[in-house]
Amino acid sequence: MANLGKARIKAKSKKGIVTVKAMAKHPMLSYQEAKKAKKKADFITHIMATVDGKVVFEVSTSQFLSKNPYLKFQFAGEKGGKLELSMATLLGEKKSFSAKIK
Partner 1 sequence: MNRRNFLGLGLGAAAVAMVPMNLSAIDFRATKPAAWTATKVDAAMKDLYGTTATTESGVKLKAPDIAENGAVIPVSVSSKLAGKTVAIFQDANPEATVAVFTVPAGGIIDYSIRIKMQKTGTVTAVVDVDGKLHSASKLVKVTKGGCGG
DSSP class of residue 36 equals H
Q: Is 70 in the site for partner 1 (CB under 8 A)?
A: yes
Residue 70 to residue 58: CA distance in whole angstroms: 14
User: Toward partner 1, which CB reaches closer, 9 or 102?
Assistant: 9
Residue 65 to residue 89: CA distance in whole angstroms: 13
- CB 93, CB 1: distance < 8 Å: yes
Q: Is 83 in the site for partner 1 (CB under 8 A)?
A: no
Q: Is 43 in the site for partner 1 (CB under 8 A)?
A: no
Residues that bind partner 1 (CB under 8 A): 1, 17, 28, 30-33, 35-36, 45-46, 48, 50, 53-67, 69-76, 84, 86, 88, 92-98
